[in-house]
Chains A and B, each alone.
Chain A
């Protein structure tokens, strides 16, 4: 217990970094996903291809390879210089973005064609139709899948400890080696992740209930 009490302040500091990276990455990831989904559904073949190549490249490679490529690979280029936290945010955002784009695309395509026809027949253009009619319905429908991906991304942030980001996992590793109490520390680490993810799921199901599709 004393080990826990001593380690906790450090771990909570790490948790702050983890949550900071997670929230920024998830917002950027969402925007990337939305953009890619719209490119994928656009009538222009070349844009479809750009989105498809992006999504396939991310889905077809391991997260850790993407992280190394962005942090070590891109940083080795003359004109790019990122610290490890930035590289971590970029990797999580891009990775989540690829999965979000597929979720958003499926959500948009699941909306009945009659909705678009009704909107267009009133005189709405395709952008207004997307914004006022299709996306609001699609987002409600995709919320559960969206939550799943967000949770996966949160867990992925623990891999950033490999490039030295002082996140929750990294602080745990430091505490474990400093105290030689690996069992207690890693158990506590697991409990903290579990609580955060549990709260996140609760928040998501609250939002789902509030915006349930009628």
Chain B
């Protein structure tokens, strides 16, 4: 089943054309890793997938529903698309528990006991059960990011988007977050991951997209893309980062 279909996506900020023309398809349970130089449009691409950026032209379909069509309720669609940010963006005035139960209670009408039970299960999964009553300010970066993942998972999303989830972390924290993501991938979550972690992309990616200059320059299984890149720009980029 096709989870995400992107057709001739274009995105401009004023006169600046960040995404010139991108099309791709993400199937159910696929893990897609998006790599590319900074400023190439990969984060913007990801943010167009849940319309966090208004789409200038083209179409994005989530499970067949066109999110660029204003008649479709974007808030409803976003409930199925979890997102994890580089800067975590936890709600600092709420405890870890409150961060996680907020959306299920307000949007799905879940009662408190059920929501908290589920939150505890998710905290177990990310290894932070004992932090339920802590505030985000009391957590390390890696812990914050794992809470952010739990918060997104609390809505039972069908797709998870990760926007450079480990880029703001101290090196020793990266592993914990990647482990949680690997676990999710193994469970069959459909994931789109913008990342600089080439190791993760090579190990977990079903496909890797190389984005540069507003285009998807090349997409392939990691073995081929990393081992036998076809385009000069891909080769130049990989020679710098590998």
Contact = CB atoms under 8 A, between A and B. Distances in A.
B220 interface: no
Interface stretch (B30-38, B83-91, B193-201): B83-91
Given A114-B89, A213-B92, A214-B135, A121 B75 contact: no
A133 B103 contact: no
Contact of B75 (A112, A118, A125, A140): A125
B102 A121 contact: no
Nearest to B137: A214
A124 interface: yes
A122 B89 contact: no
B83 A121 contact: yes
B71 interface: no
Nearest to A119: B91
B93 A214 contact: yes
Contacts of A121: 50, 52, 78, 81-83, 152
A124 B92 contact: no
Interface string A102-144: 0000000000101101111111110010001100110010000
B59 interface: no
Interface residues of B, number: 28
Nearest to A117: B52
Contacts of B91: 115, 118-119, 133, 137
A123 to B, nearest CB: 4
A213 to B, nearest CB: 7
B155 interface: yes
A122 B151 contact: yes
Contact of A137 (B52, B85, B92, B135): B92
Contacts of A128: 106-107
A121 B52 CA distance: 7
Q: Among B50, B90, B92, B136, find the residue whose CB has the most chain A CB atoms closer than 10 A.
A: B92
Nearest to A125: B75
B43 to A, nearest CB: 12
B240 interface: no
B38 to A, nearest CB: 18
A122 B92 contact: no
Given A214-B135, A214-B136, A214-B137, A124 B89 contact: no
Contacts of B89: 112, 114-115, 117-118
A122 B91 CA distance: 12
B143 interface: no
Contact of A124 (B75, B87, B90, B137): B75
A13 B151 CA distance: 55
Interface in B24-74: 50, 52
Contacts of A120: 52, 75, 78
Task: Give the 6 A-B CB pairs with smallest separation, nearest first.
Answer: A118-B89, A123-B79, A114-B89, A121-B83, A122-B103, A214-B137
24 contacts: A114-B89, A115-B91, A117-B83, A118-B90, A119-B91, A121-B83, A122-B82, A122-B103, A122-B107, A122-B151, A123-B76, A123-B107, A123-B155, A124-B75, A125-B75, A132-B102, A136-B93, A137-B93, A213-B92, A213-B93, A214-B93, A214-B136, A214-B137, A214-B138
Given A124-B107, A214-B137, 17 more contacts: A112-B87, A112-B89, A114-B85, A115-B89, A117-B89, A118-B83, A121-B78, A121-B82, A122-B107, A122-B151, A123-B107, A128-B107, A133-B91, A137-B91, A137-B93, A214-B92, A214-B136
